[in-house]
Amino acid sequence: MTTPPLPRAPRIDAVFDFDALLSEEERDWQQKARAFAQERILPIIEDDFEKAHFRRELIPELGAAGFLGMHLSGYGCAGAGAVSYGLVCLELEAADSGWRTFVSVQGSLAMSAIAKYGSEEQKQRWLPGMAAGELVGCFALTEPQGGSDPAAMTTTARRDGDAWVLDGAKRWIGLASLADVAVVWARVDDPSFGEGGQAVRGFLVPTATPGFTATPIAGKLSMRASVQCDIALDGVRLPADALLPGARGLSGPFGCLNEARYGIVWGAMGAARSCLEAALERSTTREVFGKPIGANQLTQAKLADMLLEVEKGILLALHLGRLKERGALTPAQISVGKLNSVREALEIAHQARTILGGDGITGAFPVMRHAANLESVRTYEGTDEIHQLVLGRALTGLNAF
Ligand code: TGC
């Protein structure tokens, strides 16, 4: 059976036969995600962005579509390949970075942490409901004093009899005020690291636990259709089995960040493609100086440069996806992709805005919304500078952190 054509295939797909590089199953995932984005997100997103409204009712629909934890196997997850997951991220972020972020936080961060490091009981308790979109998870790593250096975290977990007691604060935690469970990373005394030694460990914190408070951060000019929170942990008392047994040290949370950063490599190219589509459409339908603006050489040069970076970015994402499927993808390679995709997507959004003229600053076009969202995407999951330094270290062998 051949896959039917994708709905409303943009002209830029026709310039470069990317579909030929995908399997039928991958095209099916892409088609499903594009249809979801076009039918369920695009009609409401400008309004939600303006009103800073997160449309919670879409979560079970994302679950029913199979997008939540789709790269995981078992426990109700789809067991899809890395390229399929990337294509879903691209199509969702072509609508809005907030919805790709939701899928990333739920699937790549919270569910991945449980799948990678959880006990069998923890997986059984949380993963099926999270895959179905009946339960929401969040991933609490970043702290108020700065997100780039998790090694400096001050949140602690201490033993008190059979219980764990967590104290501290987290910031910029997606979904925390909606979440049923928070994956909280905290510093724990660990004698295996010598006298006075400590290790970062992960805990599954049901958000109804006394002492856990999540407060949405107000005044955001980016990612307005999604929710990011401050979390306070004030003597949060947990049973012994709240500890994720399989993670000891920062390689635990970083292993999850690798998954989410990989999704961004694809997702940011979706936002870029959307900006290019808007600019392309406008360049053939708006006349200035008696001809379509796309008939001007300067406009065509901009469009051509945008196309180059979209196509190069998607091909890079595909290459990284194929490496990931072989189990060969390294953190440095992910840094190449995250740095390039977000940086180029932002530049494309800015160029598209110039083609749209004054109307480009309004919500009649998605471009300013994408540009504003991409400022968040540029900062979370490792800033440009962090990824430059990861690559600088890979090139020189010298640690500049
Ligand atoms: P260092 O302290 O030396 O290493 C710690 C341990 O971690 C290992 N490691 C990794 N493991 C797997 N994947 C990676 N990408 C890893 N990077 C480091 C490392 O091998 C070591 O293991 P071990 O066993 O020897 O202890 O740290 P480093 O020098 O390797 O890394 C420094 C640096 C700056 C690269 C790292 O700290 C970093 O990546 N910083 C950026 C952190 C970041 O991305 N923060 C933003 C998180 S975004 C977020 O939390 C919000 S989620 C979205 C939402 O909720 O909406």
Asked which of 99, 131, 163 is the last residue of a domain, the reply is: 131
Is 256 in the same domain as 374? yes
Q: Is residue 5 part of a domain?
A: no
User: What pTM, to 2 d.p., does this model score?
Assistant: 0.96
Which among 39, 325, 381, 385 is annotated as catalytic?
381
User: Are β-strands 137-140 and 156-160 bridged in parallel, bridged antiparallel, or unpaired?
Assistant: unpaired
> What separation in angstroms does the CA of 231 have from each of 98, 175, 312, 387, 392?
19, 11, 39, 26, 33
Q: Are 199 and 243 in contact (CB under 8 A)?
A: no
Q: What whole-number distance in Å separates Cα of residue 314 and Cα of residue 332?
A: 18
Is 89 in the same domain as 218? no
Q: Are 101 and 264 in contact (CB under 8 A)?
A: no
Q: Cα dihedral sign for 255, 55, 369, 274?
A: positive
Is 110 in the same domain as 177? no
Q: What is the mean pLDDT of residues 350-372?
A: 96
Which residue's alpha carbon is at the smallest distance from atom 9 of ligand 1?
A: 251
pLDDT surpassing 70 at residue 7: no
Nearest 5°: the CA angle 17, 23, 24 is 100
Is 256 in the same domain as 392? yes
pLDDT at 8: 46
Mean of pLDDT over the chain: 95
Asked which of 78, 100, 131 is the last residue of a domain, the reply is: 131
Q: Is residue 204 part of a domain?
A: yes
Q: What whole-number distance in Å separates Cα of residue 270 and Cα of residue 96?
A: 9
Q: What is the whole-number distance in angstroms between the Cα of residue 376 and the centre of ligand 1?
A: 18
Which residue's alpha carbon is at the smallest distance from atom 10 of ligand 1?
A: 251
Closest atom of ligand 1 to 173 CA is 55
Q: What is the mean pLDDT of residues 322-330?
A: 98
The torsion region of residue 172 among left (phi > 0), alpha (psi -120 to 50) and beta comes to: left
Q: What is the mean pLDDT of residues 182-192?
A: 93
Is 194 in the same domain as 300? no
Q: Is residue 359 part of a domain?
A: yes
pLDDT at 10: 54
41, 47, 53, 54 alpha-carbon torsion, rounded to 10°: 0
- Decide which of 197 and 45 is more confident: 45
Q: Is residue 121 part of a domain?
A: yes
Asked which of 77, 109, 131 is the last residue of a domain, the reply is: 131
Q: Which of 383, 370, 281 is nearest to 45 (CA)?
A: 370
24, 30, 33, 34 alpha-carbon torsion, rounded to 10°: -120
- Domain span at 154: 137-249
Residue 42, SS3 per DSSP: helix
Q: What is the mean pLDDT of residues 348-353?
A: 98
Q: Are 337 and 263 in contact (CB under 8 A)?
A: no
Report whether residue 335 contacts ligand 1, using a CB cutoff of 6 Å: no
* Catalytic residue status for 381: yes
Report whether residue 122 contacts ligand 1, using a CB cutoff of 6 Å: no
E strands, 79-197, in order: 137-140, 156-160, 163-174, 181-189
Q: What is the mean pLDDT of residues 205-220?
A: 98
Bridge partners, residue 152, by sequence: none
Is 45 in the same domain as 113? yes
Q: What whole-number distance in Å separates Cα of residue 191 and Cα of residue 311?
A: 51
Pocket test residue of 170, 228, 256, 257 for ligand 1, highest count of atoms within 8 A of CB = 257
Which residue's alpha carbon is at the smallest distance from atom 29 of ligand 1?
A: 401
Report whether residue 101 contacts ligand 1, using a CB cutoff of 6 Å: yes
Pocket test residue of 142, 190, 224, 250 for ligand 1, highest count of atoms within 8 A of CB = 250
Q: Is residue 23 part of a domain?
A: yes
**Backbone phi, psi, residue 143, to 5°:** -120, 165
Q: What whole-number distance in Å separates Cα of residue 166 and Cα of residue 233?
A: 6
Q: What is the whole-number distance in angstroms between the Cα of residue 151 and the centre of ligand 1?
A: 8
Q: Is residue 383 part of a domain?
A: yes
Closest atom of ligand 1 to 176 CA is 55
Is 147 in the same domain as 115? no
Assigned token pair, 114: 């449980």
Q: Is residue 1 part of a domain?
A: no
Model pLDDT for residues 32-64, shown as the tens digit of each residue: 999 999 999 999 999 999 999 999 999 999 999
Closest atom of ligand 1 to 149 CA is 37
Which residue's alpha carbon is at the smallest distance from atom 48 of ligand 1?
A: 381
Report whether residue 380 contacts ligand 1, using a CB cutoff of 6 Å: yes
Q: What whole-number distance in Å separates Cα of residue 393 and Cα of residue 258?
A: 17
Q: What is the whole-number distance in angstroms between the Cα of residue 309 and the centre of ligand 1?
A: 28
Q: What is the total count of domains within the chain?
A: 3
CATH code of residue 165: 2.40.110.10
Q: Which of 306, 388, 389, 319 is nearest to 350 (CA)?
A: 306
Is 95 in the same domain as 230? no
Banded model confidence at residue 204, pLDDT cuts 50, 70, 90: very high
Which residue's alpha carbon is at the smallest distance from atom 25 of ligand 1?
A: 251
Which residue's alpha carbon is at the smallest distance from atom 19 of ligand 1?
A: 251
Report whether residue 386 contacts ligand 1, using a CB cutoff of 6 Å: yes
Report whether residue 266 contacts ligand 1, using a CB cutoff of 6 Å: no
Report whether residue 137 contacts ligand 1, using a CB cutoff of 6 Å: no
Banded model confidence at residue 102, pLDDT cuts 50, 70, 90: very high
Q: Which residue has the tokens 């001809």?
A: 291
3-state percent helix, strand, coil for the chain, nearest multiple of 5: 55, 15, 25
Q: Are 229 and 223 in contact (CB under 8 A)?
A: no
End-to-end CA distance of the chain: 52
Is 232 in the same domain as 282? no
Sequence-ordered list of residues with C-beta below 8 angstroms from that of 307, at least 6 positions apart, any chain: 12, 15, 276
Assigned token pair, 150: 């998790």
Report whether residue 274 contacts ligand 1, using a CB cutoff of 6 Å: no
Model pLDDT for residues 384-396, shown as the tens digit of each residue: 999 999 999 999 9
CATH code of residue 268: 1.20.140.10
Report whether residue 147 contacts ligand 1, using a CB cutoff of 6 Å: yes
Banded model confidence at residue 6, pLDDT cuts 50, 70, 90: very low
Is 266 in the same domain as 229? no
Is 372 in the same domain as 266? yes
CATH code of residue 70: 1.10.540.10
pLDDT surpassing 50 at residue 335: yes
Q: What is the whole-number distance in angstroms between the Cα of residue 362 and the centre of ligand 1?
A: 38
Nearest 5°: the CA angle 28, 34, 35 is 90
Integer-rounded Cα radius of gyration of the chain = 21
pLDDT at 9: 40
Report whether residue 149 contacts ligand 1, using a CB cutoff of 6 Å: yes
Is 192 in the same domain as 88? no
Model pLDDT for residues 130-155, shown as the tens digit of each residue: 999 999 999 999 999 989 999 999 99
Sequence-ordered list of residues with C-beta below 8 angstroms from that of 248, at least 6 positions apart, any chain: 190, 199, 200, 201
Size (the chain), residues:
401
Q: What whole-number distance in Å separates Cα of residue 137 and Cα of residue 204?
A: 10
As a whole-number percent, the residues of the chain with pLDDT over 90 amount to 93
Q: What is the mean pLDDT of residues 284-290?
A: 93
Q: Is residue 3 part of a domain?
A: no
Q: What is the mean pLDDT of residues 261-276?
A: 98
pLDDT surpassing 80 at residue 350: yes
Report whether residue 376 contacts ligand 1, using a CB cutoff of 6 Å: no
